[in-house]
Amino acid sequence: MRFDIVTIFPDFFRGPLDHGIVRRAREAGLVETRVHDLRDWTHDRHRTVDDRPFGGGEGMVLKPEPIFEAVESLLEWPEGRAPFDSTQGGPRPAPTSPIILLSASGKVFRQETARRFAGCERIVLICGRYEGVDERVAEHLATDELSIGDFVLSGGELPAALVLDAVTRLLPGALGNEASSVYESFSGSQTRGEVSAQLLAKKKFFPAPCPLPPEPCLLDCPHYTRPAEFRGWAVPEVLLSGNHEEIRLWRRKMALAKTLRNRPELLAGAAFSEEDSRLLADLRSGYSTL
């Protein structure tokens, strides 16, 4: 299996890939890891990979162009055609390998996801940074948008290393004892909740249950940066309007939409404001069109 990691900090991976099971799997020829500097796919003298977000706000957003170019140069496409361009028309051919965007707004990475990836010949890992990644990467390039937990990191490098490790140890021959990956946590039909309930019943060291927060815990809203139009995909007009109240409402609605799509359990039992209830009703009435 081959892992391609796209990052702006390639030196980060000099340590995590050189120890333990991953190192042994590399030495045995079971896995190949290639780390790519995203700046190699920029075309200006400053090697710019980020820009300010449309609609205002804090931080910087990774631009779509270098990420699209990096992934398309790494993978082969059916009929030799890079499909990620809405101006080409026709159905979009599926990529030959999983393309994973590591993001705090993604679905939670679980053991069953690792098992699915372990059956692939090649995986591309895109490491997010700064305030986020232009939403067109998640929407039109990545096959999976994944998070490793309900917390925010400085970038996707650590999550990428964790995904690589979790998948590698499931490959035949990677572990000294093949039964190790069969009988460990989260490997059977049990879910994480079932395992936690069993440990709690055995009086393991778990804190008392925390009350639900008064407000819903939401994923971040989508972010967009320049260019305003990329391969036929335009930035939502509201972000270019300069109307701060409309931008605020749009961002809140899209944060609710992303949470409803990727992490619906975060909304369970939450107390919603009148505004959030109205936005959720709008989303659910036309959710299939989003």
The enclosing domain of 47 has a CATH number of 3.40.1280.10
- Please say which residue of 181, 216, 231 terminates a domain: 181
Distances (CA, A) of 70 to 110, 251, 274: 27, 29, 44
In a domain? residue 192: no
Rounded distance, CA 259 to CA 267, Å? Answer: 8
| pTM assigned to the model | 0.81
Nearest partner of 245 among 289, 275, 283, judged by Cα: 275
Task: Determine the pLDDT at residue 68.
Answer: 96
Higher pLDDT, 79 or 50: 50
| Residue in the structure block whose two tokens are 């591309």 | 124
pLDDT tens-digit profile of 54-105? 999 989 999 999 999 999 999 976 665 566 777 776 666 678 899 999 999 9
Q: Per the structure, how many domains does the chain have?
A: 2
CB 10 within 8 A of CB 36: yes
Do 122 and 249 belong to one domain? no
Rounded distance, CA 9 to CA 129, Å? Answer: 10
Q: Sign (positive/negative) of CA torsion 161, 162, 164, 169? A: positive
The DSSP-derived string for 114-139 is: HHHHHT-SEEEEEE-BTTEEBHHHHH
CB 279 within 8 A of CB 252: yes
CB 260 within 8 A of CB 287: yes
Rounded distance, CA 156 to CA 126, Å? Answer: 7
Query: Which structure tokens are listed for 236?
Result: 């939502």
Do 265 and 154 belong to one domain? no
- Please say which residue of 146, 181, 216 terminates a domain: 181
pLDDT tens-digit profile of 215-252? 788 999 999 999 999 999 999 999 999 999 999 999 99
Task: Determine the pLDDT at residue 87.
Answer: 78
In a domain? residue 148: yes
Domain of 248 in residue numbering reads as: 241-289
pLDDT of 271 above 80: yes
Task: Determine the pLDDT at residue 131.
Answer: 86
Do 53 and 177 belong to one domain? yes
- Please say which residue of 181, 206, 228 terminates a domain: 181
Residue 230's identity, in one-letter code, is F
In a domain? residue 259: yes
CB 108 within 8 A of CB 64: no
pLDDT tens-digit profile of 97-153? 999 999 999 999 999 999 999 999 999 999 999 889 999 999 999 999 999 999 999
Do 94 and 171 belong to one domain? yes
Do 173 and 279 belong to one domain? no
Bridge partners, 123 (sequence order): 3
Do 174 and 262 belong to one domain? no
Do 150 and 14 belong to one domain? yes
Please, what is the average pLDDT of the chain?
A: 86
Do 145 and 6 belong to one domain? yes
Over its C-alpha atoms, the chain yields an Rg (Å, rounded) of 21
Q: What are phi and psi of 45, to 5 degrees?
A: -70, -20
How distant is the alpha carbon of residue 276 from its chain centre? 25
Do 251 and 177 belong to one domain? no
Do 33 and 155 belong to one domain? yes
Looking up residue 246, the CATH number of its domain turns out to be: 1.10.1270.20
Query: Which structure tokens are listed for 58?
Result: 């804090």
In a domain? residue 279: yes
Query: Which structure tokens are listed for 244?
Result: 């701060």
Q: State the average pLDDT over residues 4-9.
A: 98
Rounded distance, CA 132 to CA 224, Å? Answer: 9
